[in-house]
Structure 1
Amino acid sequence: MDKQEILNKIEEAKVEFIRMEFTDMLGDTKNVEVPASEISAILDNEIMFDSSSIVGFTSIEASDMNLHPDLDSFIIVPPELEDGENVARFICDIYTPEGEPFAGDPRSILKKALQEAKQMGYDVNLGPEPEFFLFNHDEKGYHTTELNDRAGYFDVSPFDRGEKCRRSIAKTLQKIGFEMEASHKEVANGQHEINWRFDSGLRTADKIQTFKYVVRNIAANYDMHATFMPKPLFGQNGSGMHIHISLFQDEENVFYNEAAADHLSDTARQFMAGVLTHAQGLSALTNPTVNSYKRLVPGYEAPVNVAWSHSNRSCLIRVPATRGEGTRFEVRNPDPTANPYLAIAAIIYAGLDGIKNQSKLGPAETRNLYEVEAKDVPTLPTNLKEALDSMKKDEVISKALGDYAFQKFIEEKESEWLEYSSQVTKWEQKRYMKK
C-alpha cells in the first residue's frame, strides 16, 4: 500500500483518529493515538513517544523513540471494535532518534530472524491456532470466573453459547483481511478456537496481535470477557497456540520430498531437529508465564516430552498428514501469552541452527507419551524458573533476541518468578494450616 492510497482511504472513511500500535517485551499491544490531521507526520515517521514506562524498553534518561508505521499494516478499524468511531490503524516498528531500529523492539527482532532465513534462501510461512476462554461479566462489566457455557468439543448451539460471538469475530476478521478457515468449540468448557490461513512470518505475528484485539472487543460486545490465559481453570484443558511452520524456496515447499519414505525432505528433518535440540531454551519464550506450566502437565492434551511424531499428539512436534505444498510441522507447546514476535523468531533461529549443523532427527515417536513412562525421552521445563535457566544456557536462543532484549526479558521474567514464589496460596493454607 502506498501513501496516496492510504490518504485516499482515510478521506473516504472520514477517519478521525489513527492508532499507532506496537508490542512491548511481554507481548502486550500498546498504542499512541494521533488525530488524522497529523497523517503527514505519521507517514514521515515523525511521531515520537516516551518509552520509559514500557516493559522492557528504555530508562527515563533515554526515553524518546520514533514510531515507523508499516504501510502494509494499515486498516480501517471496523466500527464494531471502536463504538462506531472512525478509526484507522498502523502497526509500527520502533526506532531510536538516531534512525536505528531499537534493539528492544520485538517486531524488529523477528525481522532479523526472517532476514537470516532469507539469506539462507528460505521464506518462512506460519499458521497459528490460538485458543481462548469466554467468561461472563458481572453487573459492573468486570470479568468473573463464571464460564459462558458447559459445552464440549465441537458441540453446537444451544449447548455452545459462544457460537454467535465466534461468528462475529470471524466476520470482523474477514473485514480486515484475514482468510478464515474454521472456528469451533474446544475441549474445555467455555473454550474456543478460530483459525485463519497461513501467512508470512511477520504478517502472522501481526495477525496474532490483531486477532487478540478483535476477540477481546467482540467478546465485550457480547458482555463476556475473553482471556488467552493458558490455564484459567483447574481440571480443564488449557489454551495453546500451536504453530504450523514450513519453509519455501522459489515458491516451492522445501519440506516436501516425494522420493522420501514419509515425503519429508532432509531440510524439514534438520529444521525439526533444531527445534527439538533447543526446545528447553525455547520454552521461556513460547511459554513465558508462571501459568504457562500449569498447562504443560500430563493428561490435558498438551505436550510434556521433547519428541516428534507423524500423527501422535502427545509429542512436542507433530507432522500433519498433508503433503505437497501443504507439508509442514506443528509445534504444540506454545501458548497465546507468548510474545509472537519473540517466540516465532526463536523457533526460526532454532530450526535454522539445525539446518546449518545438518542435525540428525531421531525416529518418530509412536508411543502415547501421556500414558507411558518414557524415561528415554527428554521433557520440557516444569516451571518458568527452569525455562529461564535453560534459556540462559542456550546460546542460539539468547542470541536470537540480542543482548539488550535478552537481558530485559530475563530481568522481567525472573522478577515475575520471584514475585510468584513468595505468594501464599489458598491451596497452601488449606494443606498446611494444621501443621
Structure 2
Amino acid sequence: MHRHIGLTAFPVKHLPFAVCLPWLIVLAVKSDNGVVSRLEDLLKLDMAPFTDKIIAEYIWIGGTGIDIRSKSRTISRPVEYPSELPKWNYDGSSTGQAPGEDSEVILYPQAVFKDPFRGGNNILVICDSYTPSGEPIPTNKRCRAAQIFSDQKVIDEVPWYGIEQEYTLLQTNVKWPLGWPVGGYPGPQGPYYCAVGADKSFGRDISDAHYKACLYAGINISGTNGEVMPGQWEYQVGPSVGIEAGDHIWCSRYILERITEQAGVILSLDPKPIEGDWNGAGCHTNFSTKSMREEGGYEVIKKAILNLSLRHMDHISAYGEGNERRLTGKHETANINTFSWTEPEAGIADRRCLGVVVDDLGYLEDRRPASNMDPYVVTSLLAETTILWQPSLEAEARAAKELQLQV
C-alpha cells in the first residue's frame, strides 16, 4: 500500500484590493476620466478571435539564485511543448550573471505553463541559462539536476516529490508582516495556524488567488494553509516526478510574486523573517522512490536514512541561505549541526527532527530545507544521495550504530 503526502487547508482576511480570476486583474480606484477603466479593458482583451499570435513570458532565475526574472516575446502561433519555442537571450551583466564586456546569456525553454494573467493561449515558459557556446552558467542549477534525473538508475526508481513551500507576506513600506501592527507585535503564536477570522488570518485573498492561478496554469498544487506565524502561509506542490518538481515550484513562485506585486504586498522567502519567539519558514520536501513504495520499502527507507546522515552537511550547505537562523532546535526544528530522525507512532512524529520522518512504507520527509531553497538542487541531491551515492561499508556501519538502525 502506498502512503500519500498529507495536506491541509488554510486561512487569511480580505485585503484592501480585489484580485479577480481568471485573469487576475487588480481593481484600482476609478479615476474621473476613465483612464483606469480603459486600461482594465485592454488588460482583459481576448486576442484569440483576431490573431494566432500569442505572448510567451520567458522566466529564469537571476544571479542571487532566488530572484526571478522574466520578459515577454511574441510567438507566431499557440504552442504546447518547450521544443516548439525559440531560444532567446538577455543581458547577464544586469542580473549579476555575466561581466559587462561579455554579457550575453542564452535562455533555453524547458517547461511550458498556461498564463493565468493574460489568459487565452498565452504561456509562461520556465527557462535555464547558458553561455553562447552552450555551457550552463554557474547559477543554472537545473542543468545538473536534469543530468541526475536522466540517469537510468534514477529513472527506474521514479522519484516522487511533494514540496511544502512556506512564505511570509510583508507590508510594502515597513517590510513588517501583513496584519501586524507597525513597529509592534501581535499576540503570541497559537491561534493563527489554519485559523479563520479578521484578527487571526492575514492574506487569504493572495493565497486563494495563487491557488486558483496555479491550477489554471497546470501546476500540480495540492493544497494550502495558513501557518503558525501570522502573515505566513504554505502551499504544497506534488506529487511530482523528477525534474518536474523543480519546474512546478519555480513557476508557482513566479505566479506568487506576480500576485503580490499586483496586491501591493512584498513576498518574503526568508527562512527566519522575524527574530525571536516566532516560527521560521521552511520548504519540507517529501520524497519516495519506487522501491520505497513497494513491499519491503521500509528497509529501503532505512538505507536512505543512512546515506542522508553521512552527507548531512553536504545537504545543509545546499538547503538555503540563512537556514542557520531557522534550524536552532526551537520552533519545530532541530539544531543545524545534528542529523536526527524519528519513526511516527500512531501517525505522530517528532516535528523537531531535522532529518527525516519515516513511515512503515512509502516516503520520507526531509524537514531541513529552508523556504528559499532551490528545488532543483534539493530534489536532485535527494535522488543522488539515496539512489546513486554509495558510502563505504565502514561508514555505513558506523552511521547505522549511531542512528540505531539495522539495515
Taking structure 2 as the reference length, what is the TM-score of the superposition?
A: 0.71
Q: Is the contact made by 1:32 and 1:49 (CA closer than 8 Å) also made in structure 2? A: no
Find 1:317's aligned residue among 344, 355, 364.
Answer: 355
Q: Is the contact made by 1:273 and 1:354 (CA closer than 8 Å) also made in structure 2? A: no
Find 2:70's aligned residue among 27, 31, 38.
Answer: 31
Find 1:238's aligned residue among 266, 280, 299.
Answer: 280
Q: Does 2:91 match 1:50? A: yes
Q: Does 2:192 match 1:152? A: yes
Q: 3-state DSSP class of the match of 2:60?
A: strand
Counterparts in 2 of 1:364 and 1:163: CA distance versus 1, 3 Å? farther
For residue 330 of structure 1, report the CA deviation from its aligned partner. Answer: 0.9
The corresponding residue for 1:17 is: 55
Q: Output the CA distance in 2 between the equivalents of 1:153 and 1:88.
A: 35
Find 1:337's aligned residue among 372, 375, 378.
Answer: 372
Find 2:307's aligned residue among 246, 262, 274.
Answer: 274
The corresponding residue for 1:431 is: none
Q: 3-state DSSP class of the match of 2:146?
A: helix
Residue deviations 1:362-387, cap 9 Å, x none? 37979xxxxxxxxxxxxxxxxxxxxx
Q: Output the CA distance in 1 between the equivalents of 2:377 and 2:101.
A: 26
Q: Does 2:332 match 1:298? A: no
Counterparts in 2 of 1:109 and 1:47: CA distance versus 1, 3 Å? same
Q: 3-state DSSP class of the match of 1:112?
A: helix
Counterparts in 2 of 1:127 and 1:221: CA distance versus 1, 3 Å? same
Q: Is the contact made by 1:117 and 1:124 (CA closer than 8 Å) also made in structure 2? A: no
For residue 60 of structure 1, report the CA deviation from its aligned partner. Answer: 4.2
Q: Output the CA distance in 2 between the equivalents of 1:276 and 1:10.
A: 54
Q: Output the CA distance in 1 between the equivalents of 2:381 and 2:334.
A: 19
Q: Output the CA distance in 2 between the equivalents of 1:258 and 1:47.
A: 47
Amino acid across the alignment from 1:243: T
Amino acid across the alignment from 1:318: V
For residue 230 of structure 1, report the CA deviation from its aligned partner. Answer: 0.8
Q: Output the CA distance in 1 between the equivalents of 2:47 and 2:316.
A: 42
Q: Does 2:216 match 1:175? A: yes
Q: 3-state DSSP class of the match of 2:250?
A: helix
Q: Output the CA distance in 1 between the equivalents of 2:231 and 2:244.
A: 29
For residue 229 of structure 1, report the CA deviation from its aligned partner. Answer: 0.9
For residue 342 of structure 1, report the CA deviation from its aligned partner. Answer: 2.3
Structure showing greater relative contact order (alpha-carbon pairs closer than 8 Å, 6 or more residues apart): 2
Q: Is the contact made by 2:327 and 2:334 (CA closer than 8 Å) also made in structure 1? A: yes
Amino acid across the alignment from 1:27: I
The corresponding residue for 1:69 is: 109
Alignment of 1:14-413 (within 5 A): 17-24=55-62, 26-37=65-76, 43=84, 45-55=86-96, 57-70=97-110, 73-79=111-117, 87-99=122-134, 101-102=136-137, 104-116=139-151, 118=153, 121-137=156-172, 142=173, 144-148=175-179, 150=186, 151-158=191-198, 159-235=200-276, 236-247=278-289, 253-256=290-293, 258=295, 264-265=298-299, 267-288=300-321, 291-304=322-335, 305-310=338-343, 311-321=349-359, 323=361, 327-355=362-390, 357=392, 359=396, 362=400
Amino acid across the alignment from 1:34: R
Which range is displaced more, 35-44 or 92-101?
Answer: 35-44
Amino acid across the alignment from 1:178: I
Q: Is the contact made by 2:222 and 2:236 (CA closer than 8 Å) also made in structure 1? A: yes
Structure that is richer in helix per residue: 1
Q: 3-state DSSP class of the match of 1:198?
A: strand
Q: Output the CA distance in 1 between the equivalents of 2:95 and 2:236.
A: 30
Q: Percent identity?
A: 20
* Number of equivalences: 334
The corresponding residue for 2:18 is: none
Residue deviations 1:331-370, cap 9 Å, x none? 111112122222333333222355565745637979xxxx
Q: 3-state DSSP class of the match of 1:167?
A: helix
For residue 243 of structure 1, report the CA deviation from its aligned partner. Answer: 0.6
Q: Output the CA distance in 2 between the equivalents of 1:173 and 1:120.
A: 27
Q: Output the CA distance in 2 between the equivalents of 1:211 and 1:130.
A: 10
Q: Is the contact made by 1:95 and 1:102 (CA closer than 8 Å) also made in structure 2? A: yes
Counterparts in 2 of 1:52 and 1:330: CA distance versus 1, 3 Å? same
Q: Output the CA distance in 1 between the equivalents of 2:153 and 2:133.
A: 27
Counterparts in 2 of 1:322 and 1:211: CA distance versus 1, 3 Å? farther
Amino acid across the alignment from 2:327: L
For residue 318 of structure 1, report the CA deviation from its aligned partner. Answer: 2.7
For residue 134 of structure 1, report the CA deviation from its aligned partner. Answer: 1.7
Amino acid across the alignment from 1:194: Y
Q: Is the contact made by 2:154 and 2:388 (CA closer than 8 Å) also made in structure 1? A: no
Counterparts in 2 of 1:345 and 1:181: CA distance versus 1, 3 Å? closer
